[in-house]
Each structure stands twice: as structure tokens, then as C-alpha cells.
A and B are shown apart, each in its own frame.
Chain A
Amino acid sequence: MTRISLSINGVSHEADVEPRTLLVYFLRECAGLTGTHVGCDTTSCGACTVLMDGQTVKACNVLAVQADGSEVTTVEGLATNGDWHPLQTAFHEEHGLQCGFCTPGMLMASVGILAENPDPSESEVRHALEGNLCRCTGYQNIVNAVLAAAEQLRSSAAQG
């Protein structure tokens, strides 16, 4: 067992973990944050995407011990004081989710995409989301949601 400490959504967590424990299982089973889902075992689907020190990572491809000392943000930490992030609102308004299983990963991946490119084209969004699979939506409304949120974020930034 190895002792790790990390901040998740601004809350400190300390725990003893097996060296083989994946970050995604640490989040789900130790920290009790079940919004991050496990959709595959080959780093293909992206359902487990979270932010680690501001970068998007697939939490099934990171050992919990590798996250020692880092700041992790999961879907549960996306809203601010109960106010949804513009991406959450956009996914709702654009019908960017059906079953919702891939959604936390899609949202977190999209946070990363818009941090890197605040004004992406449709094609750029599609290619940037390549690591996240959805079987329900055909992606069209996910792409629309990301574009709508980008516009909202740009407009807030311009005003702010």
C-alpha cells in the first residue's frame, strides 16, 4: 500500500492505495465520486475523462499513485456554487446526451478542448473529441453543445 494525498474538486483526500489502483477506481470507490464512469479497459471510450492539474486525462490510464499531490477535477466539481458550467447547460439545451453514461467524460474533455481553443470550428471540435465515444447521439448535438458553450464562454469573457 502507498499513501497518497490529492485534492479532488478542491477537497483534500488522503488514502492508502494499492500501487495498481487506477485513478478512476480511486475516485469512484475511495473518494465516492461515482460521476466518473468506466466504459472500457483499453483507454478508448473516454467516459472516465477528468482534469488533472488542468490537463484532461483518462482516469483509467492513470495510476492513483501518479495523481499523488495533484489537483483533480471531476464532473461533480464542474458547477460553481451550484451554477452549472456553460458546457453543462449547453449539453442540456442542445440535447447533447441521451443515456448520459459518456456525458461526464464528454463534458470534462470539452472543458479541456475549450481551454486550448476557445473558438473552435465544428471540424476542430469533432477531431478534438476523437477520444470520447458516444453510442447514443451520433455526436451532432454534442458538437453543437460544445460550440454553443464556446460562444457563451467567449461572450462571458468579453464582458468580464
Chain B
Amino acid sequence: MATAEKYVGGGVLRKEDPKLVTGQGTFVESITLPGMLHVAFVRSPYGAATIGAVDTVAAAESPGVVAVLTGEDLAGEWAAGLPMAWPVTDDIRIPDHWPVAKDAVRYVGDAVAVVVARTREQAADGADLVSVDYEERPAVVDIESARADGAPRVHDQFEDNDCYTWALTNGDVDAAFTKADIVVTERYTQPRLIPNAIEPRGVVVQPVPAAGDYTIWSATQIPHIAKVLFALTAGIPEAKVRVIAPDVGGGFGSKLNIYAEEIVCLVLARRLGAPVKWVATRSEGYVATVHGRDQIQEMEIAADTDGRILGYRAKILANMGAYLQLITPGTPLLGAFLFCGSYGGEAYHFECTGVFTNTTPTDAYRGAGRPEATYAIERAIDALARAVGVDPVEIRKRNFLPTGEMVPSPGGLAFDTTDYEQNLDRALEIVDYDSVRAEQRARRESGDSKIIGVGLSTYVEMCGLAPSQVLGSLNYGAGGWDAATVRMLPTGQAEVVTGSSPHGQGHVTSWSQIAADALGIGFDDVTVLHGDTQVAPHGMNTCGSRSLSVGGIAVHNACGRVVDKASRIAAHLLEVAPDDLEFEGGTFSVKGVPDRQATIQEVAYAAWTAHSLPEGEEPGLTEHHVFDPPNFTFPFGSHICVVEIDTETGEVEIVRYVAVDDCGNVVNPQIVDGQVHGGVAQGIAAALFEEATYAEDGTLQTSSMLNYLVPSAAELPSFELDRTVTPSNSNPMGVKGIGEAGTIASTPAVMNAVLDALSHFGITDMSIPATPEKVWTAIRDAKGGAA
């Protein structure tokens, strides 16, 4: 029946959960097909080496092995190399990148051969028997070594290891720095991070040889983009490729890619005429799934004597890794406009140089460019506060952009809606800032070995990617729109087909809320279909906190079109003009004659039978909408972290973490809170725990969950959340995005707290992660070497 209940903003429980809490989820790992073969990869143990002879005889004779293929054997299978969709400059160097290496390997994990066998174990056994002659070459793993004179070249085809330099200038930067009373010059490093979605990547390909059709199940965030690029890379007509992202166990950017293993499985299925499957082991994922971050940042702020900012200069070196994956070069540039954060000023310069190294390629990892930018500006504004001699709160309030709409930022973008100071005040109130400062003073005065510090991060981010035209101007290879189809079924339910492809974000629930309200039907009467290119033909998928503010709006607008058509049919049935009708709670009623009415379900049935429709109206009640927003959205917020540091051990404990985010209007508060929790956890991990390191020869030292610290519940605190609501003007629902905000905001909040705690020792800098060893050493050194 029709219902007046409003679901948006309310507390409904997730529709995704019942199958997931009972073990009935369908992850790629669980997909099994008759006659399915299993694939294992032989991977380089060297950071850089020339491939000599590859002996496959023993592997080929191993029980159950069906095929052993080297890069040379497969060379004829590719119509193109692995795709890179973001050539950020005209002169960017794009190296050849074959799914299986032919002549040389360039990072530990580079694939050199594949083994196909009847079982998973037999494939792994076969891979162990492949013998490769490598001639090891000097490797280079860090950015600065890669740029040194005479550095080993990652790609012989280029003169040096620079990939590109991209620059942006807004205003007269030199003039701003010339007239400045204060110039703060900082240098930060962004450690390399390993995304670690708990579901390892995997792919299953089912061919129908006689038809030339391929169905690909992949643990991917981007089934729609994958369909296009699988077709182009394997040389298969696009219409013959169906990609399904079933239940996907987290992504965080790491599944926003086109991977060698996906393409290899596709061409193996074509070559062998049988279904094939590959699922990564975790250790394999550590070397063969993209990493994130890995930058060196030089950050300068010019300010007047009161600390009012005049200009910014940010110069970035970004580690690309050995090859360019899907958006490797563009990832640092997602932060290009945000090195001025939520603050004003008259001039801005940003410059980024990408650098090749013999390491796993980097690409998007939660926040992608924006956490790096936010870290730099939020650390630097604290440095400015120290230089001016004011509190971090005061320096921020002096520099916040004004409250308003379409507010110009020094980076050159216009922020949709801003209201920063009230948001910060709310966070200060929750944390009781003055009391924390008093406690800090008291502990210092009493000589307590446990000291406390408080750190702020008043971030703004840029998401909801985006206006297609703007993405085009940045040389990005695809659009930023998203699509929805809404079908009213003759029995009164609705099917919502979305181009967003979730992997934990709860789209099925949120889209049901949106559609139920817009159509005036029950939450349980909405079914959301996604992640299958045959079911949802159009989409740009889930990444960059874009799903709600683009894909969700497409659902909202498609529902609007359904109601428009239903209104015309209802008017015909009720023998009035459409303008004479009101639509409320799923019921069309004649103005002034409320008992003359038709429910949307009755209209859906009438549209299906088509026995009596208005002149020229097509049968059925299905509408489609593609939303391409006029602007990004710019969520903002204030995160305040209070840490306690044991000066005797260097251990940092987060004792309070307050997050007041503003993501505009909220569809599902529980889901939004969950996104903040998870995002903050990942940002804290970057501040205190996680850092991927390589030995000079290219060996990944942090090669498993045993030596790369993905935090558990025991390492993390509970978070205190609140929100302010400043609706966006970039879309009709006033929503922004929240998927990455926590990660973007939290790393600098934690580090500013650590440095604030240590400030009375004269310590003003420390690289992340702030490990106990680093903190303890800094305290010892500050005390003149005595522990």
C-alpha cells in the first residue's frame, strides 16, 4: 500500500546484512563453475632483473597442470597493454605495461608466467616448478634515489625516472611571498600504505566459445569501466563482455583498477575455452595490488604578521611505482587544489612530479591525494600558529574562508557551501578544549611522565567526482556522471538499477530510502540492482565519495520522472488534468476532492496493462536518469584528537577523538557514522602504525599482515561523532560525500596532537607514523641524549 513514511534521514537497518551475517554472501572466492580451471602466477622475487630462459617443462608435467605460459607465449593475446586512463600532461611518459612481463621485471611481484591447473593446489604446485633465469639489475625504490644523478633507470625507454610534472598557479604567488612578514617552510613525507581490503582480489571468467561471450566476475569497484577496458585490452567486442561485481569485500581504492590478473584470466578463458579462476593470497596481494600515498612534500605558507595567509606553495614528489596503473599519475592531483585547505589567501602554486621506482605501482587509496594535501596544510597551519605565537584554534579562525555559497578558494575552485567556524566551535565544545589545555598544563607542571597533546584538523575535501567537463579538462579518460533506472513493477514494487557499484557502503539501503520516499512506497518494496553490466548497463561506479552525490541523485531524479509520468496516467484515470493532482505519500489525489485518488501502485498496474492511457503515452512505468553534477561537493569538518604519550616508552594512546563532519544532508545516519568510523581508523593507522618499506634491492619488507600493522580493535579508541548540516548546492538533495572524509581528516589531527604533546620539549617535527621508537628517540634527543 502507499505510505507517507519518510525514510531519508531516518534510522532503517541495512538490507545488505541478513545474507552477510548468515554466511550467504557471494564473494568471488565462492564462485565455482563446472570444469573450472585454476590459475597461479609466477612472480618476480627481484626488484629489477632481465628475464632470461624460462623453464616450464617440470611445471607442465606436474599433476593436473593444463598450461604453462610465459609473457612471450601470451604476447599475441593482448590488443593493448594494461590501461592507464589519466595521462595528466601531454608529455607524460607512459611505459609499456604488459599483463605478464616479457623481457624484464621491474618490481617484486611482477608476473613472469602463469600456470593453469585442475585445482588451486595443483596450480600453486606448478608455479613453484617454473624456473626463471633472472639477471638481477640495480633497483631504485625511493623517490630521491630515483632522481639522483646516475640512478638506475626503471624503464630503459626513458632518459631518467621522471614520469611527468604537472603544475597549477592561481594568482601572483611571488608577490604574496615577497610582501609576507612570515614564511613557514615545511617538509613532510607520506609513507607508502597498503590498502588491505580484507577480501583479497579475485576473478572468475566464464567463456561461451561458440558465441564469443565472456562473463567476468571480479572483486572490483568498477565493473562498468572494467567492461570497456577488458574489451579493449583483450581485443573482444565490448558487447560480448559482461562484468559482474558480486559481493565485494572492501576496496578503499585498491579495487578501482584494471589488473593484470583480470586480463590474464580473460585471455586464458578465451585460449583454453574453459572457465578459469584466480584468487589472490594475501601475501600475493601485498606485492600485486596497488599501494597508496608515498610522497615527499615541500609546503610553504606566506602570511602577514598576524598570521593571515597570503599565499601557498606546494611542491610534491610522488612515487608512481614501476608502472602506471589505471589512475596512478592522476592520484596525487586529486589533492592539487586542496593544499590551501579551508583557508583563504590570494595566491597559490602547486607542482607535482611523478617518479618511477622499482616498487609496486601506487594508485588510489582511500582519499587519494586529498589525505596527502590535507596532511600538509593542517600540519603547516600549526607551524604557522607556532610562528605567529597563537593557538591552533585562533590561527584557523583567522584564516577560514567566509561562510557562503560558491566560495572561491585560493586553489582556484569554488566551494559549494561553506560554514567552517560554527563547525569548529561544535567540536571544541564537545572536546571541552579549554579543559584539555588546562590538563595539559597541569601535567607538564607536575612533571607527569604521561603527557597529553591536542591536535586539530579543520579539513575540507573535494568529492562527488564530478562534472564530466572538468574531469575532461584534467585529461581524465572518462566522465563523472552516473545513471539510474527506476521501474515500477505491475505488482507495485520498484526496481532501482544503479550505476554505482558498492563494496560495503550500503547503497542498497540508502537507494531504497531515496526511492521509497520519492515514490511514496515502502522501504521493503524497493529492490536495488547493481554491479552487473548486463543488468545495469550504464555507470561510473563507486570511488571518490561519489556514489550518493552522483549515483544517488540519479536515483532521486529518475524517481521524479516516474512520478511525472505516473501523474499523467493518474490524471487520465481520474479524468482531470495533471495540474489538478497532488502527490503525497504515494497517492495522487484531486485537489479539493481528496477522496478521488489513485495510488502509484494502481497507476503502475494501469501503465502495465495499458488498457487506458493518455493519448500518446507509452505503456509501462520505467524511467532513466543520468546525473552529471554542475560542481564537485566539498564536505568539511573539524576533527580533534587528544593523545596521551608515555614519555618513558614513547607509546602514543588516543584518549579522545572527536569528529564533527559536515556532509550536507544525511540519508542514513548510521551508515554515515560507520563511514566516519572506518575512515578515521584508516587515517589513525597512517599516523601511528602503517608504513610499507622496501629494501634497497626492491624487496618489500612489510610483506604480510605479520609485519605491516593493520590495526585491530585493541589499537583503536571509540570515536565521538557529531555533525553540522550545510546542504550542498551541487545537487537537488543537498548531499555531499562521507566515504573518505575520516581518512582525509584524521592523520593530521593525530600528528598535530602528538607534536602538541611534545612541544614543550622543543619538538616541532616528526614523520608519520609516530611509532613508539620515533617518539621515544625524539624525546631522548630533545633532552640532550639522556633517556
Contact pick for A138, options B18, B120, B195, B680, CB 8 Å? B680
**Does A35 lie within 8 Å of B674, measured CB to CB?**
no
**Does B713 lie within 8 Å of A107, measured CB to CB?**
no
**Does B713 lie within 8 Å of A130, measured CB to CB?**
yes
Q: Which of B198, B248, B673 has the most CB of A within 10 A?
A: B198
CB nearest neighbor in A for B716: A139
A63 CB–B CB distance under 8 Å? no
**Does B30 lie within 8 Å of A28, measured CB to CB?**
yes
Instruction: State the CA gap A85–B528 with chains docked (Å).
Output: 27
Contact pick for A101, options B121, B249, B671, B719, CB 8 Å? B249
**Does B22 lie within 8 Å of A79, measured CB to CB?**
yes
Instruction: Give the number of chain A interface residues (Cβ < 8 Å).
Output: 56
A150 CB–B CB distance under 8 Å? no
Instruction: State the CA gap A104–B279 with chains docked (Å).
Output: 19
Instruction: State the CA gap A97–B198 with chains docked (Å).
Output: 12
Contact with B along A135-155 (1 / 0, CB 8 A): 111111111000000000000
**Does A36 lie within 8 Å of B23, measured CB to CB?**
yes
CB nearest neighbor in A for B30: A34
**Does A42 lie within 8 Å of B198, measured CB to CB?**
no
Name the segment of B502-510, B591-599, B639-647 touching the other chain.
B502-510
Question: What residues on B are CB-neighbors of A103 within 8 Å?
Answer: 20-21
Contact pick for A93, options B13, B24, B710, CB 8 Å? B13
CB nearest neighbor in A for B25: A100
B682 CB–A CB distance under 8 Å? yes
| B115–chain A nearest beta-carbon distance, Å | 18
Instruction: State the CA gap A79–B250 with chains docked (Å).
Output: 25
CB nearest neighbor in B for A133: B710
**Does B704 lie within 8 Å of A98, measured CB to CB?**
no
Known: A104-B23, A130-B712. A99 touches B704 (CB 8 A): no
**Does A34 lie within 8 Å of B23, measured CB to CB?**
yes
A49 CB–B CB distance under 8 Å? no
B210 CB–A CB distance under 8 Å? no
B344 CB–A CB distance under 8 Å? no
Contact pick for B705, options A107, A133, A142, CB 8 Å? A133
Known: A34-B30, A95-B671, A97-B17. A135 touches B712 (CB 8 A): no
Instruction: State the CA gap A40–B250 with chains docked (Å).
Output: 14
| Residues of chain A from 29 to 44 with CB closer than 8 A to chain B in the complex | 33-42, 44
Question: What residues on A are CB-neighbors of B504 within 8 Å?
Answer: 98-100, 136
Contact with B along A36-58 (1 / 0, CB 8 A): 11111110110100000000000
Question: What residues on A are CB-neighbors of B84 within 8 Å?
Answer: none
| A17–chain B nearest beta-carbon distance, Å | 11
Contact with A along B539-557 (1 / 0, CB 8 A): 0000000000000000000
**Does B29 lie within 8 Å of A126, measured CB to CB?**
no
**Does A140 lie within 8 Å of B23, measured CB to CB?**
no
Contact with A along B707-744 (1 / 0, CB 8 A): 00010111010110000000000000000000000100
Question: What residues on A are CB-neighbors of B24 within 8 Å?
Answer: 35
CB nearest neighbor in B for A47: B198
**Does A129 lie within 8 Å of B198, measured CB to CB?**
no
| A64–chain B nearest beta-carbon distance, Å | 13
CB nearest neighbor in B for A74: B23
**Does A97 lie within 8 Å of B21, measured CB to CB?**
yes
B197 CB–A CB distance under 8 Å? yes
Instruction: Give the number of chain B interface residues (Cβ < 8 Å).
Output: 57
**Does A100 lie within 8 Å of B706, measured CB to CB?**
no
**Does B250 lie within 8 Å of A101, measured CB to CB?**
yes
Contact pick for A137, options B18, B195, B677, CB 8 Å? B677
Chain A at the B interface: SS class: loop
Question: What residues on A are CB-neighbors of B196 within 8 Å?
Answer: 133, 135
Instruction: State the CA gap A100–B17 with chains docked (Å).
Output: 8
B588 CB–A CB distance under 8 Å? no
A26 CB–B CB distance under 8 Å? no
Contact pick for A42, options B30, B121, B679, B704, CB 8 Å? B704
| B504–chain A nearest beta-carbon distance, Å | 3
**Does B21 lie within 8 Å of A40, measured CB to CB?**
no
Question: What residues on A are CB-neighbors of B121 within 8 Å?
Answer: 18, 20
**Does A98 lie within 8 Å of B678, measured CB to CB?**
yes
B283 CB–A CB distance under 8 Å? yes
A122 CB–B CB distance under 8 Å? yes
| Residues of chain A from 60 to 105 with CB closer than 8 A to chain B in the complex | 74-76, 78-79, 84, 88, 91-93, 95, 97-104
A118 CB–B CB distance under 8 Å? no
Instruction: State the CA gap A78–B24 with chains docked (Å).
Output: 12
Question: What residues on A are CB-neighbors of B19 within 8 Å?
Answer: 100
**Does B670 lie within 8 Å of A76, measured CB to CB?**
no
**Does B283 lie within 8 Å of A42, measured CB to CB?**
yes
Question: What residues on B are CB-neighbors of A33 within 8 Å?
Answer: 23
CB nearest neighbor in B for A134: B198
Contact pick for B706, options A39, A42, A79, CB 8 Å? A42
| A32–chain B nearest beta-carbon distance, Å | 9
Instruction: State the CA gap A91–B21 with chains docked (Å).
Output: 8
Question: What residues on A are CB-neighbors of B718 within 8 Å?
Answer: 122, 140, 143
| Residues of chain B from 1 to 22 with CB closer than 8 A to chain A in the complex | 13-14, 16-22
Known: A37-B29, A99-B199, A126-B714. A42 touches B23 (CB 8 A): no
**Does B704 lie within 8 Å of A138, measured CB to CB?**
no
Question: What residues on A are CB-neighbors of B20 within 8 Å?
Answer: 97, 100, 103
A23 CB–B CB distance under 8 Å? no
A59 CB–B CB distance under 8 Å? no
Instruction: State the CA gap A83–B16 with chains docked (Å).
Output: 18
Q: List 17 A-B contacts (CB under 8 A).
A: A28-B30, A33-B23, A34-B23, A38-B279, A40-B200, A41-B704, A44-B705, A75-B23, A92-B17, A99-B198, A99-B199, A99-B249, A100-B249, A101-B250, A129-B712, A135-B710, A138-B677
Binding site for A on B (CB under 8 A): 13-14, 16-25, 27, 29-30, 120-121, 195-200, 247-250, 252, 279, 281-283, 503-506, 670-671, 673-674, 677-682, 704-706, 710, 712-714, 716, 718-719, 742
Binding site for B on A (CB under 8 A): 18, 20, 25, 28, 33-42, 44-45, 47, 74-76, 78-79, 84, 88, 91-93, 95, 97-104, 107, 122, 125-127, 129-143
Q: Which 3 A-B pairs have the closest CB atoms?
A: A35-B23, A101-B249, A100-B20
